[in-house]
Amino acid sequence: MVGRAAFDYSGESAIVTGSTKGIGRGIAESLAAAGADVAINARTPADVKETVAELDAEYDGTFVAAPGDISDLDAVEKIVETAVDAFDQVDLLVNNAAVWPREESLLEASLDEWEAAVNVNVRSQFYLSKLVAEHMLANDIQGNVINMTSQTGDRRSGPRGLYGLSNTAVNGLTWRMAYDYALEGIRVNAISTDAARSYQLRYEAEQVADGDPDRTADDVLDEMGEQRPIGRLGRPDDIGNAVLYLASDAASYVVGTILRVSGGGNLQGG
């Protein structure tokens, strides 16, 4: 038996960081398709404007541009202000945007890469959540915060240690925020994925295929998908569906969980 889910988010408003591409764009689309109003964020204003126009053309909700670099604290405050001004109330924050420093070993990681990884991937999640939670408390909103994390956050070794440790920190942040916020009626959860089709994953595939006459980036992505237990890569709407579930009344008793949405990829590797 396989059940069929349908979520109704009409009248609800969300901020999704990093929502012009990849998983964030998929989350914004899923919320829009379910009737929500969404504030679109990324660093590139032209992409934000284009995403807002595309969602406007397709869906009934209200979509607002909230561009800004989430490693900049003033920009974070402006993003929240923009969403509150546009929607009056914000019911859901999805902390999705992240950067992937590419160092092979922590011995070669620079302090600048550390700052980027920690400020974009962790500090922004803490500060955005805090501002949105203060807004929720002031307006009696029983809202939701959902953090994106990665399977690298569960690992103790491997390349890209900065990316991995920033996701380990997001897992810890999720647990601790979840407890403190639950006492105030706000649910905090996280979604962990491992390989989902996105701008970043395509970039990785292009690097692997570069100089190999027998393989294209699409071939590399297909091979990655075949290596997952479920036999395919994740899609942005797989993560979008998980957001729809976690922020819904169907998950009203789910607090501080890290939902694995990775086709069984979470069961592989060290």
Lookup: tokens for 3? 């059940």
Least Å from the CB of residue 230 to ligand NAP? 14
- Return the DSSP state at 248: S
Q: How far apart are CA 176 and CA 209, in angstroms?
A: 41
Q: How many CB atoms lie within 10 A of CB 226?
A: 10
From 1-9, 36-44, 126-134, 240-248, give the range in contact with ligand NAP by CB under 6 A: 36-44
Q: Out of 12, 15, 21, 122, which residue is the one contacting ligand NAP (CB under 6 A)? A: 21
HSE, CB side, 13 Å, CA atoms: give it for residue 135: 27
Q: Which of 13, 41, 168, 174 binds ligand NAP (CB under 6 A)?
A: 41
Least distance to ligand NAP from the beta carbon of 249, Å? 25
195 is a contact residue toward ligand NAP (CB under 6 A): yes
Q: What is the CA radius of gyration of the chain?
A: 18
Show which residues are catalytic: 163
Considering the complex, state which of residue 2 and residue 157 has its C-beta at the smaller distance from ligand NAP: 157
Note whether 91 binds ligand NAP by CB under 6 A.
no
Q: Quote the CA–CA distance of 52 and 48 in Å, as a whole number.
A: 6
Kindly write down the DSSP assignment for every residue of 110-173, as one continuous string: -HHHHHHHHIIIIIHHHHHHHHHHHHHHHTT---EEEEEEEGGGG-SSSS-HHHHHHHHHHHHH
> Considering the rule CB under 6 A, would residue 18 count as an interface residue with ligand NAP?
yes
Task: Looking at residues 103 to 162 of the shown chain, list those that interact with ligand NAP (rule: CB under 6 A).
Answer: 120, 148, 150
Site string for ligand NAP, 197-226 (x = CB under 6 A): -xxxx-------------------------
At closest approach, how far in Å is the CB of 112 from ligand NAP? 14
Residues 249, 34: Cα–Cα separation, whole Å:
14
Question: If DSSP codes are grouped into helix, strand and coil, which group holds residue 52?
Answer: helix
Nearer to ligand NAP among residue 120 and residue 133 (C-beta): 120
Q: Which residues bind ligand NAP (CB under 6 A)?
A: 17-18, 20-24, 41-44, 47, 69-71, 96-99, 120, 148, 150, 193-196, 198-201
